Amino acid sequence: MMPYYSMTQDKGLTSVLKWEVHPDFSRESVVLLAGAGSARTIKVGQLIAMLANEGKAVAWDPDAADGSEIPWGIAATDAEAADGVDLAFGLVALRRQCLCFANGIVWPEGVSDAQKAEALEVLEAQGIVTRFN
């Protein structure tokens, strides 16, 4: 009998990005805010936002009131900022003029359909268009 092997792979950029004008135009490197008490982790496909007072990236939080409630882009790379240490330009985001798979977006726990729809509208106004196929 032949051995059976199984492998799992983390979500990659191709599960989110369908098309972009050009990587140099559509993507942007940003500073990921330091973790607070533990590492801050962002995964490919996760919506990111910019803190209004710091200009640093964090995970999108629709219930916040510090700038992180406004979707800014979609993470194109995994990134982790250590506790107390910003990750300088280690996070790449899809920022403009690209077509993304809607089912590749990683939504936070508990986000309503209305919040998702609003986030997708904000992204589309920035040139990040999502489709379900």
What domains lie within the chain, and their CATH numbers? 13-131 (2.40.300.10)
Q: How far apart are CA 74 and CA 38, in angstroms?
A: 22
Q: Show the low-confidence residues of the chain (pLDDT under 50).
A: none
pLDDT, position 7: 59
The predicted model scores a pTM of 0.91
- The tally of CA atoms less than 13 A away on the side-chain side of residue 61 is 12
pLDDT, position 41: 98
pLDDT tens digits for 94-119?
999 999 999 999 999 999 999 999 99
**In a 3-state reduction of DSSP, which class is residue 124?**
helix
**What are the strands, taking DSSP E only, across 5-133?**
17-20, 27-32, 40-42, 47-50, 57-59, 73-75, 79-81, 87-94, 98-101, 128-131
